Amino acid sequence: MGLRRSRGALLAVAAVVLAVVSLAEVLLDPAGPADRTGSTVLALAAAACVALAAVSPVVAFLLSLLAFPAAVALDLPGLGGGQLIVLLLLMGLVGAATRARTAAALAGLGTLVSAGALVAAGEAVWEFLFFGVLFGGATAVGVLLRREAERSAQLTALAAALAAEREARARDAVAEERTRIARELHDAVAHTMSVMVLQVGVVRHRLADRPVEHDVLLDVERIGRQAGDELRRTLGVLRPGSDEERRAPQPSLRRVDELLDQVRAAGLRVRLEREGDVDVLPPGLDVSAYRVLQEALTNVLRHAGPTEVVVRLRSSGGALDLVVEDAGPRPGRAAASTTGSGHGLLGMRERVAVYAGVLDAGPRPGGGWAVSARLPLPAVPAPRGVTA
């Protein structure tokens, strides 16, 4: 609606300008007839057809063609340059608003009407060639403009569709990573709860001669087993279907050397720097840290190829810091395309966000790429009888 209004306003302004030009041409012509009423009416009618083109270019063009037989019938000296401009403008609008065949047919009709009227009034036959070239050129310009507009609209729609597809893929990647996180947390939490229940059972058996404590621990053991069973029923559907995947060892930073050996075999030259105790971490956080490190190293292989990498693991100050820095592609080797979906980075951010952590990733000032993650560690309660 807004585009149609702006087009109508533009054509109204063009109509006023062409009316002024045509009237000036008619009224200021020193060689014109004494009575210029007919020429004035035709000039105003032609300008009005320009404004009418906002509603229907075809109707406006057909009405404007009547100026030629009208000029011959009224024995007027002919149409001025302003009126010819009107005809060419309307012919171009017809080409832009209709099919190419329809526009070509109307151009032929315009040539027959205009040139035929002039030839009937005594003009030379070459008028057919003159108006054929004018209307044909105007039609071609209009058709080309319409095709460009259609192509632009198609490209805009395609860009919107691609953007929507990228967003959908990003959402799917986030959902898939969250499902994977939930699956791994299910394994870690279920294992921890099973160990707790077993420990409570051992203590309960040792307190068989103390019925009160024995019954309390029996209730705790029963509630723990129920919670574990409920957890397995609720999240168990997220487990992989493959028996091989079920038997696979749980990811952990305690297995970081195995991971580094794998990427070294793929060509990376990795140096590991440790600080603090990074082998004793909460199970869920341990899995997430391992996955972040794994994805970061995979990205190095994908985008930089065989290169030098430094991996830093530090547990201090109540947080686990994980840094992966690479030196970039080797000299003379082009980097792999970095225009991928970026879903690996999305997955890393999701994992770090679960534990209220922070992840930064970007190019290094001296070349290469760096990934830095900081995961807060839960406070460890002090043993009984120990005060801070």
Task: Transcribe 224-266 into DSSP letters.
Answer: HHHHHHHHHHHHGGGS-S-HHHHHSPPP-GGGHHHHHHHHHHT
- The predicted pLDDT at position 309 comes to 93
Q: Do residue 112 and residue 124 come from a single domain?
A: yes
Instruction: Give, as one character, the DSSP assignment of residue 279.
Output: S
Question: Does 166 reside within a domain?
Answer: no
Q: What whole-number distance in Å separates Cα of residue 115 and Cα of residue 124?
A: 9
Tokens 């070459």, residue? 126
Q: Within this chain, do residues 364 and 230 fall inside the same structural domain, yes or no?
A: no
Please report whether residue 164 resides in a domain: no
Copy the structure tokens of residue 115: 């040139």
The pLDDT-based confidence of 273 (bands split at 50, 70, 90) is very high
pLDDT tier at 325 (50, 70, 90 boundaries)? Answer: very high
- For 188-211, give one letter per residue: b (16+ CB within 10 A) or e: bbbeebeeebeebbeebeeeeeee
What is the reported pLDDT for 239? 53
Token couple for 225 = 């087993």
Q: Do 287 and 184 meet the contact criterion of CB atoms below 8 Å apart? A: yes
d(C-alpha 20, C-alpha 82), whole Å:
9
Q: Is residue 226 part of a domain?
A: yes
Record the tokens describing residue 312, joined without a space. Answer: 């830093």
Sheet strands side by side (includes 308-316):
269-275, 308-316, 319-326, 369-376, 358-363
Residues 43 and 147 in one domain: yes
Same domain for 119 and 202: no
What burial class does residue 336 get, using C-beta atoms within 10 Å of its C-beta: 0-12 exposed, 13-18 middle, 19+ buried?
A: middle
Question: Is pLDDT above 70 for 238?
Answer: no
End-to-end, the C-alpha distance of the chain in Å comes to 73
Same domain, 112 and 260: no
pLDDT of residue 183: 66
In the predicted structure, residue 286 carries a pLDDT above the cut 90 = no
State which of 186-190, 243-247, 274-278, 379-383 shows the largest mean pLDDT.
Answer: 274-278
| Residue 97 confidence class, pLDDT cut points 50, 70, 90 | confident
Q: What pLDDT is attached to residue 373?
A: 93
The answer on 140 and 19 residing in a single domain is yes
The rounded percent of the chain whose pLDDT value lies above 90 is: 7
Confidence of residue 360 (pLDDT cuts 50, 70, 90): very high
Residue 269 host element (H or E): strand 269-275
d(CA 378, CA 359): 18
| pLDDT of amino acid 64 | 84
The model's confidence at residue 388, banded by pLDDT at 50, 70 and 90, is very low
pLDDT of residue 384: 43
Residues 144 and 20 in one domain: yes
Query: Range with the lowest mean pLDDT among 188-192, 258-262, 340-344?
Result: 340-344
Task: Residue 341: name the closest of 133, 165, 213 by CA.
Answer: 165
Assess whether 132 and 239 both reside in one domain.
Answer: no
- Whether the predicted pLDDT of 303 surpasses 60: yes
Give the integer Cα–Cα distance in Å for 77 and 71: 8
Question: What's the CA gap between 142 and 148, in Å, rounded?
Answer: 10
Rounded Cα–Cα distance for residues 25 and 32 (Å): 10
Instruction: Quote the pLDDT of residue 339.
Output: 39
More confidently predicted of 340 and 188 = 188
Asked if the model's pLDDT at residue 294 lies above 60, the reply is yes
What whole-number distance in Å separates Cα of residue 312 and Cα of residue 270? 11
Q: Same domain for 334 and 318?
A: yes
What pLDDT is stored for residue 314 in this prediction? 92
Model confidence pLDDT, tens digit, residues 187-225: 566 656 666 777 777 777 777 778 777 777 777 777 877
pTM of the model: 0.48
On the question of pLDDT at 140 being above 80, the answer is yes
Average pLDDT over residues 169-180: 75
Q: Is the pLDDT of residue 270 over 70?
A: yes
Query: Hey, what amino acid is at 1?
Result: M
Lowest mean pLDDT among 186-200, 292-306, 349-363: 186-200
Output the pLDDT for position 318.
Answer: 86
Q: Are residues 77 and 195 in the same domain?
A: no
Distance of CA 227 to the CA centre of its chain: 43
Q: What is the mean pLDDT of the chain?
A: 78
Average pLDDT over residues 272-282: 86
Q: Is the pLDDT of residue 370 over 60?
A: yes
Q: Which two tokens stand for residue 283?
A: 């199970």
Domain that holds residue 139: 2-159
The SS3 of residue 184 is: helix
- Give the integer Cα–Cα distance in Å for 271 and 308: 8
Average pLDDT over residues 219-248: 62
Q: Where are the beta strands (DSSP E) in 40-127?
A: none
Opening angle at CA 159, ends 154 and 161, nearest 5: 95
Number of domains in the chain: 3
* pLDDT of 336 strictly over 50: no
